[in-house]
Amino acid sequence: MTCSNDGRRPEGLQEVRPGESCELGMMFAHAAWLEAASVPAFQRLADELREHGAPERLIQAARRSAADEVRHTSTMKKLARRHGATMPDVDIAPFQPRDLEGMCLENATEGCVREAYGALVAGWQARTANDEEVRQAMTSIARDELRHAELAWAVDAWAAKRLPPEAREHLREARRETLRGLRSDVERHAPPPLLVRDAGVPSRVDALRLVNGMTELLA
C-alpha cells in the first residue's frame, strides 16, 4: 500500500495496516495514522528542546507543529471516511529519556529528510490531484509540512554548535542513509494509477525526481 506522506514517525511507533477498503481509503487512513503519530513526536521534541536549553522560538515552533498535525489528522480521517476507511489506532511505546544526540538523530532522519520529502509530495499532490478536495487539503498541508522541515533544519543547526564533530558526522551519515532508503522504497513501489490520478501521488518516475532533487540539495 502506498502512502502519500511519511511524516515524523516517533520512536516506538507500532506498525499497523488499515482495514480493507478501496485503495484511496487505505491510503488516506494510513496518512491519518501517520499524522496522528506525529503529534506526540512534536510534543516530545518541544519538551526535549526545553530540557536542552534551546531557544524559545524552536520550542514554540515544535508545539505549533504538533497542533498542525492534529488538523492534518482530522483532514485525512475525513478523506478516509469518504472512501469507506477508518484510521487505525496509534500505538507508541512509552518514550525513554535520551541525550541531545539521540534527539537530533530522530530529527535528522524523520525531520530533515522524511518531512522534507513529505512537503514535496504534498505540494505535488496539491498541484496534480484530480480530486478538488484532495488538492485543497494538500495545499494547506504542504505549507505546514514545509515549515516542519524548516524547523528540523533549524534544530539541526542549533544543535550542531553543541555536538562534537563525530556526532555531527553521525547525523550527516544518518541523513544520507535515510535518503538511500527513501530512494530504494521509491524504486521498488509504483503507486496504483488511481492514486496517481485522483490523489496526485507522484508516479515512480516523478517520485525519483523528487528524491534525486533532494539528494542534490543536501549534498
Provide φ and ψ at 98, rounded to 5°.
-145, 160
Write the CATH number for 76. 1.20.1260
Q: Identify the pLDDT of residue 15.
A: 85
User: What is the C-alpha to C-alpha distance for residues 15 and 17, in angstroms, rounded to an integer?
Assistant: 7
The answer to whether position 148 is within a domain reads yes
The answer to whether position 91 is within a domain reads yes
User: What is the C-alpha to C-alpha distance for residues 83 and 77, in angstroms, rounded to an integer?
Assistant: 10
Helix (H, G, I), strand (E, B) or coil at 13: strand
The answer to whether position 12 is within a domain reads no
User: What is the C-alpha to C-alpha distance for residues 87 and 31, in angstroms, rounded to an integer?
Assistant: 8
The answer to whether position 3 is within a domain reads no
The answer to whether position 13 is within a domain reads no
Q: Identify the pLDDT of residue 217.
A: 85
What domain range is 85 assigned to? Answer: 23-218
Number of structural domains found in the chain? 1
Distances (CA, A) of 66 to 83, 105, 108: 26, 19, 18
pLDDT tens, position by position, for the chain (219 residues)? 444 456 788 989 998 876 667 899 999 999 999 999 999 999 999 999 999 999 999 999 999 999 999 999 999 999 999 999 999 999 999 999 999 999 999 999 999 999 999 999 999 999 999 999 999 999 999 999 999 999 999 999 999 999 999 999 999 999 999 999 999 999 999 999 999 999 999 999 999 999 999 998 887
The answer to whether position 162 is within a domain reads yes
Q: Identify the pLDDT of residue 74.
A: 97
The answer to whether position 204 is within a domain reads yes
